Amino acid sequence: MKLPQNLAAKLELRKQNNALRILPSTNNLVDFSSNDYIGFSKSNRIFENTHQYLKNNAIVQNGATGSRLLSGNHSLYAVAETSIAQFHQAETALLFNSGYDANVGFFSSVPQKNDFILYDELCHASIRDGIQLSYAKAYKFQHNDLEDLERIILNSKANLQDANTIYIVTESVFSMDGDTPNLVDLVQLCQKYDCLLVLDEAHALGVIGEKGQGLTQELQLQELIFARIMTFGKGLGCHGAAILGAPELKMYLVNFARSFIYTTGLAPHAVATIYMAYQELELQNTAVQKLKDNINHFNQEKNRLGLKALFVRSKSAIQSAIIPGNEMVKNIAQQLQNKGFDVKAILSPTVPEGQERLRFCLHSYNSKEEISEVLGLLSTFVF
């Protein structure tokens, strides 16, 4: 059956703009593209420990069998949520099937009509999609610009009813730029104006902090943030997410977050993998430290090679070189791939036109020689 004409036209426009998305095939290139920052997705120890935990606890079950509110709330959920809350020094944790589900569930249900949501303009699509489903008023502020945010807070408070709330939303590491907000000053701003801060820590888990706890705990701000979203498909190398917060918030989400209520729960194996990945973070931080060393080396090398001006300033595992134009950035990415390095081009409309980029994701298992070589190749391709 043919695709409707208006949908076919949209696909054709993507092709003309050199922006058509296709699913990539697997490859054996040096990994500078995955979010597996500390190698947990390939960890044999986590794999074996998960299997052994399930065997030791006589858990022989392939699926959750239903939503958590019906038949899917198997015993592993309580074990994992308690452990996650303790690791993150939070009162409670509530597991969701993915980071996308967590953000859509939170922002579509928690902010109410006549509340205000003020979000960084570079917040992830899952946050923005959740906000679109909310009845609250929403305004974006300029990226990491606390002066602009304060201006919007003052405008919002002038129109705020007594019973309503202002939610401030940002990320600890932004997925495309790899930069971070000034979280200490942001928390102080929220306290000054009685706003509630919501922080997505997706790209900080496993990366920032002595044991990869995230930016909040590195700065000891966990008592001052209303909700944290921890996503496991990146630094933890598995799948799922958790929202951290007060017991009342957890109860509210269980009752009103539709992406939690109306979906089959994670299988016991998925939850056990999350639990074992956290045990691995708790036990050792060698991978976290190796990643930090590689980030430092990457930044030193891009300075040595005269590439600093190309890159967005970042001290995280995400390093983005701005190369405007879909055709140009795709061409350079292909040249790097031809040399054995899996570096991906990020095209518009995923990023704004003129902000197309090569996105380098660094890992604990990348060698310093690989980092130096890929940046050396980049310098020959762009200069």
To which residue do tokens 């007060």 refer? 246
DSSP 8-class letter at 154: H
At residue 162 the predicted structure's pLDDT band, cuts being 50, 70 and 90, is: confident
Beta bridge partners of 199: 170, 228
Per-residue pLDDT of 332-378, as tens digits, reads 999 999 999 999 999 999 999 999 999 999 999 999 999 999 999 99
Determine the Cα–Cα distance for residues 47 and 45; give it in Å rounded to an integer: 5
At residue 283 the predicted structure's pLDDT band, cuts being 50, 70 and 90, is: confident
Determine the Cα–Cα distance for residues 360 and 185; give it in Å rounded to an integer: 29
Determine the Cα–Cα distance for residues 240 and 96; give it in Å rounded to an integer: 6
Q: What is the mean pLDDT of the chain?
A: 96
Cα→Cα distances 273→31, 100, 131, 322, Å:
23, 19, 30, 36
What's the confidence (pLDDT) of residue 188? 98
Cα→Cα distances 363→28, 203, 230, Å:
16, 12, 19
Determine the Cα–Cα distance for residues 38 and 284; give it in Å rounded to an integer: 12
Determine the Cα–Cα distance for residues 272 and 68; give it in Å rounded to an integer: 16
Residue type, 327: E
* Whether pLDDT at 138 is above 90: yes
More confident residue, 383 or 218: 218
- Contact status, residue 140 vs residue 120, Cβ threshold 8 Å: yes
What's the confidence (pLDDT) of residue 206? 96
Cα→Cα distances 361→36, 115, 165, 176, 320, Å:
9, 37, 37, 10, 9
Per-residue pLDDT of 76-130, as tens digits, reads 999 999 999 999 999 999 999 999 999 999 999 999 999 999 999 999 999 999 9
Determine the Cα–Cα distance for residues 186 and 178; give it in Å rounded to an integer: 18
